[in-house]
Amino acid sequence: MNGRRVLIVDDHPVFRSGLAALITSAGYDVVGEAAGFAEAIALARTTAPEVVLMDLGLPDGSGVDATERILGERPGTRVIVVTMFDDEAAVREALDGGAAGYVVKDAMPAEVLAAVAAAVEGAVVLGSGVARSTGRLVPTPAPDPFGLTPRERDVLDLVIRGLGNRQIAERLGLSGKTVANHVSTLLVKCGATDRVELGRLARAAIAAAAGSGSGSQGHPVG
């Protein structure tokens, strides 16, 4: 995942345009701009973004609901909330809904770009203002015994669910050849001989990681 395709969701056209200009100036490709929930879902389906910058307060729905819907259809997408709300309840709801980052609208441009870059790498990122105001604790990610990249984890998750290469390609917006290459790499990294064994080993590793991390309280971000 190179994270270059970005969809912006915000009901304020002036802010949306400014954010698009910032993202474009950093070398990202803004593939669409949505002003509401329904438009965001439709554009996510047709433009296949890798990153979505999501406002919470949309005129026809919730940004959290939009995040959950997009991730349900495209699990590999990284959603970063960019909003005016900085209270802990809003942050918690967004992260529980699957957001990979949370930045307030008055953040410095460099902080927004840093959040995008970090989220693409698989991190859960809170803007400095959010972290200071909420003291939010983000759970420490479970250890990855296989050393997988974020995209490899996306593919593995869908393999575990029983999807074939063509279905995975459609879900993640990849070519069949790319998915096949990822699956081959996963077999090597996980020490599996076929997809059945790959799923079994991955489920066992996930269960072991969950058990070993059950007592973790997380760590402050920012």
What is the per-residue pLDDT across 59-94, written as a single tens digit (0 to 9) for each? 999 999 999 999 888 888 999 999 998 888 888 888
Evaluate whether residue 221 is within a structural domain: no
Please tell me whether residues 112 and 167 are part of one structural domain.
no
Q: Are residues 155 and 132 in the same domain?
A: no
Above 80 in pLDDT, residue 206? no
Q: How far apart are CA 129 and CA 83, in angstroms?
A: 12
Which pLDDT does position 45 carry in this prediction?
95
Higher pLDDT, 154 or 85: 85
Spatial CB neighbours of 18, under 8 Å, sequence gap ≥ 6: none
> Does residue 70 lie within any of the structural domains?
yes
Whether 112 maps to a domain, the answer reads yes
Residue 34 phi/psi, 5-degree rounding, is -120, 140
Q: List, as own/partner pairs, every contact residues 153-157 make where C-beta atoms lie below 8 angstroms and the sequence separation is at least 24, other chains included.
A: 153/122, 154/1, 154/75, 154/76, 155/179, 155/182, 155/183, 155/186, 156/186, 156/190, 156/198, 156/202, 157/75
Q: What is the pLDDT of residues 101-147, one digit of tens each?
A: 899 998 888 888 888 888 777 777 787 767 555 554 444 444 566 77
Instruction: Retrieve residue 49's tokens.
Output: 């973004």
91 and 164 in a single domain? The answer is no
Task: Give the integer Cα–Cα distance in Å for 28 and 32.
Answer: 12
**What's the structural domain count of the chain?**
2
- Max Cα separation, the chain? 53
- Residue 53's φ and ψ, nearest 5 degrees, are -100, 115
pLDDT for the residue 17: 93
What are the structure tokens assigned to 137, written together? Answer: 């604790």
> What's the pTM?
0.62
Say which CATH number the domain at 65 has.
Answer: 3.40.50.2300
Distance, in Å, from the CA atom of 130 to the CA atom of 138, rounded to the nearest integer, reads 12
What is the extent of the structural domain holding 64? 5-138
Residues 125 and 166 in one domain: no
Given the structure tokens 């909420």, which residue do they identify?
A: 134
Residue that is last in its domain, among 113, 138, 163:
138
- For the chain, give the percent of residues with pLDDT over 90: 33
